[in-house]
Structure 1
């Protein structure tokens, strides 16, 4: 089975390796961001809110530091809006976290707005227009939704005729388009809200359990799966109604081993992978 190695992409500067990585992501413009705290959060034992540091590494290697004041989520999702503001969101909306679940921070790290997008966030990704895409896991039947940066719901999968959308396993947001691969049947769902004639296209797909998806032209790649297929990289070609399977291989770290515990972010033709200790991102690019 062919093995494909990730290409090194972005590294957390060594001067910040003494801090705990609370979460990390790669935004729609290719900048990598790390949300850092002095120590790892302890369930039920921390005083909320707390201050954090965002270390941003631009595609050209420039480093930016932003201190976020009074973050309320112990295990947040993070992304950056096109105007430089940051979005931090708690994956669970419970009790006091509900109305304040999503926090918007200005370029100086001050909270300017908060709102709720619903419990059970699996993915949170910002697009080039500044909309916030949220894919939920199976404890929230909301599926996939798109919000603007003021907390207004602007698109929902409720009437999109996506079959058996119980858990958004994979979500890819690039430009203003989203691609998803939801449980239980794992179709490849193309979402273009700005296209009035056909905003959603659903393609049958035989690849099960993928956690990330990359799309380029008429080709697609799925990363991850169940059990022994957790490092699988499955390729396919798009038709009008289905994904036709092609070769299947493995995706590894740049130096050869399997990633183990990891984070993944899907953006257009790219799948970004960050393995423990979460200080570096590697990338697979389907367009290469």
Structure 2
């Protein structure tokens, strides 16, 4: 990353779904697009249950296209689960087997609100409200807690000792003279050695593939190890940045 942090397009939406209504989408570790397609743009505003289907789009082909039983999720989300997918209501939590009511163990960490989450291949990292420590978790529980100087983050990228936080509080503040939402998205880049606190060394702006400012604040950020997949208003169009 140089004087800015430039997004690249990823992953492409298969042309067969270009006119479909994506009500939820995500990106997995392999860069595949996982999408929930339904007749309504906002399930919260329609009668439920409603018809929907799940698709998983790889780099060269559609690997899954499944018609689902009628859904009752008011705020649906979709993600990868092994070789398949899981669909759940955003107001709930779920276990790795798809069942509801998963909650992290306390382990000395107050999981009041996880502002940024990175689910990697081997480890998971979180940036938690309100002191925003960087917490490392594996299958056995919390494995590390490191202090940071950031105040808010939408995304979190990790590559060895390098750490980057995408977005901060100042990006969302509107002063009284502002007539439109802020388009500034800041990336704070730092490092942490041997479990020490994260030292932020520099801040750079996030830019679009053509070098322009983002169209607004990200609507969704999905972080996988050293990559962050970012989308704005269109659930069919994702961008990626790598640490």
TM-score, reference length from structure 1: 0.71
Contact 1:12 1:34 in 2 (8 A): no
Number of residue pairs the alignment of both structures matches = 227
CA distance in structure 1 between the partners assigned to 2:102 and 2:237 by the alignment: 34
Q: How much has 1:42 moved relative to structure 2?
A: 5.7
Per the alignment, residue 113 of structure 1 pairs with none
CA distance in structure 1 between the partners assigned to 2:137 and 2:89 by the alignment: 25
- For the pair 1:148 / 2:96, whether they are aligned, the reply is yes
CA distance in structure 1 between the partners assigned to 2:189 and 2:17 by the alignment: 37
Question: CA 1:277–1:270 in 2, change beyond 3 Å: closer, same or farther?
Answer: same
Q: 1:222 aligns with which of 141, 146, 165?
A: 165
Per the alignment, residue 108 of structure 1 pairs with none
Secondary structure, in 3 states, of the residue corresponding to 1:254?
Answer: coil
Question: CA 1:228–1:47 in 2, change beyond 3 Å: closer, same or farther?
Answer: closer
How do 1:107-118 residues align onto structure 2 when only pairs under 5 Å count? 117=93
Gaps of 5+ in 2: 173-183
Q: How much has 1:47 moved relative to structure 2?
A: 2.2
Higher relative contact order (CA 8 A, sep 6+): 2
How do 1:261-272 residues align onto structure 2 when only pairs under 5 Å count? 261-272=218-229
CA distance in structure 1 between the partners assigned to 2:233 and 2:54 by the alignment: 18
Per the alignment, residue 100 of structure 1 pairs with none
* Cα root mean square deviation, aligned: 2.3
CA distance in structure 2 between the partners assigned to 1:4 and 1:241 by the alignment: 25
Per the alignment, residue 113 of structure 2 pairs with 167
Q: How much has 1:74 moved relative to structure 2?
A: 2.7
TM-score, reference length from structure 2: 0.84
Contact 1:252 1:259 in 2 (8 A): no
Contact 1:265 1:272 in 2 (8 A): yes
CA distance in structure 2 between the partners assigned to 1:192 and 1:81 by the alignment: 17
Secondary structure, in 3 states, of the residue corresponding to 2:206?
Answer: strand
Gaps of 5+ in 1: 94-116, 118-131, 133-146
